[in-house]
Structure 1
Amino acid sequence: MAQHYEQQYLDLMRRIWTEGDERSDRTGVGTRAVFGADMRFSLADNAVPLLTTKRVFWKTAAREFLWFLSGGTNIRPLLEQKVRIWTDWPLDRYRRETGEAIAQDEFEARIVADPAFAERWGDLGPVYGKQWTDWPVYEEAGEGLFRRRARGHDQVAELVHSLQTNPGSRRHIIEGWNVAELGAMALPPCHKTYQFYVADGKLSGLLYQRSCDLGLGFAFNIFSLALFTRMLAQQTGLAPGEIVWNGGDVHLYLNHADLVEEQLSRTPAGAPRLHIARTPGSIYDYAIEDFSVTDYAPQEHIRAPVAV
């Protein structure tokens, strides 16, 4: 009997927790980590690698991914959809810079209700979607000076075009690691590099993550990779192939012991399917209502704190 697709994830989790290097980290929480890991998942027959040993809120992940594609960098549109996964970073900055011990609910309510407050405190800097759709481009302005163009390079649109016109290219890449702008980002990109590959009429996608929180972040990252690959395949008339995930520093936080032990005690089961209801005219025209998942019966959600 074939091994369930999720078993490779659980095996990696067990290896990190029992054999990983214990290390200090940026957050001060501490991790156990390994360097260099990979997993592969088929997208055949609408398969989607949602974790089944805990509930993954895939609609939240899909809303986040559509926000990336919009080029957005402010958390206000996310909070309007009840997506709270990016609040920690601007909230932490607000508390540090103002000294106000504001509750998260109150901060989020102010972001949604007050556009000026959101503009001042809700922006994350040039993260993900900004680099994907508006990578800075500079041009000569005379006398050895350069000015930034009003609109930068749209990597996503270029990717769709290259898949359509030159499928054999080895340059089907989207990059988020803009060295010059890392300091302006609330969080430098973890899922930093995407590459796509066409063979036998099928599109496969690869994601390289420099840093992966295997306990919390991975579930969203792998779903988003599958979603992105499916959307691109649909837009370019290709069939979905497989997705490949590569991790650099792959870690579990030391304060996630309950999550790890509970999840490792569970057995994966089921074969969820991702369906896309229509083919929009552009990669940018998808809406959350276009996506549905069937045959997904996960075990209970496992809560764990986010390290900021």
Structure 2
Amino acid sequence: LERAETLKVLAVDKTGTLTEGRPALIRSWLAPGVSQAEALALAAGLEQSSHHPLASALVQAAKAEGIAPGRVEAIQAQAGRGLVGLQEGQPVYIGAPAFLAEEGAPLPASILAELAEAGLTPVALARAGRWLALFGLADPVRPSSRDAVARLQGMGLRVVMLTGDQAPVAARVAQALGISEFRAGILPADKAAAIEELARLGPVGMVGDGINDAPALARADVSFAIGAGADVAIEAADLTLVRNDLNGVADAIALSRATLGKIRQNLFFAFIYNVLGIPAAALGVLNPVLAAAAMAMSSVSVVSNSLLLRRWRPGR
């Protein structure tokens, strides 16, 4: 809390921090001969054990249509890329389109262009070197995020959004929130490096909620965790927001500034009486009664000034 007033840059995770963290399936692109039910069943089978918000969105979409998750074995996570498993001996993949391209199942450029134009977050599905489906998801922005960002910027902070999403999706969210600077396509392992880079501009803060944010939270000069976030993020952060509202970060910084301001004022009150009284006492012109009164006034001034903090309210 003491260091929060020194922050010059604030890095903010997108999913679950600026947004609700509850994405929903908006649109699907299917390969020839593949049905929506088949694609969702396989996707749900791969994602049902994952706690990622995008995974939950696909599982919920399958459940809403009454589709049971497909049987997938030997599921393994590829950090920041996606999941790999086996279905009837065939390898199946789900994750970013770039991940599928690396595995020999690239998606048609025309479909990727449509998805980028729509500003949706992509999750691609493939089996045995052939793409099956591309799901476009959207995560609604928290209603309070735009006001909170404007408030933080008004406090002189440089707000930078960090996200693993592709640039078109990041640009859409950044524009909606009034954020002029963002880093898109960042892998979890690179978030801490992004904080290192931003630290060159001055003391940097980090706000996040997920497991992937923990290294960046630990690296920041002051870190804030969303209260509904992952336990490891809360453990790594310096401050935890009880409400899932970015305004809590602005409140913490404002309280830090108000408190440190009072400390500086109190140092003035503590020393000014001595600065004036000691020379007078050395010259023998200071009455002991006045000296005692001055010392009492020093304490009264400090205590009275500190009590003015009771007037501080969140949001001011």
- Please give the range of the TM-score, normalised by the shorter of the 2 chains: under 0.3
Higher RCO structure (Cα 8 Å, ≥6 apart): 1
TM-score (norm 2): 0.24
Rg comparison, structure with higher value: 2
TM-score (norm 1): 0.24
Higher helix share: 2
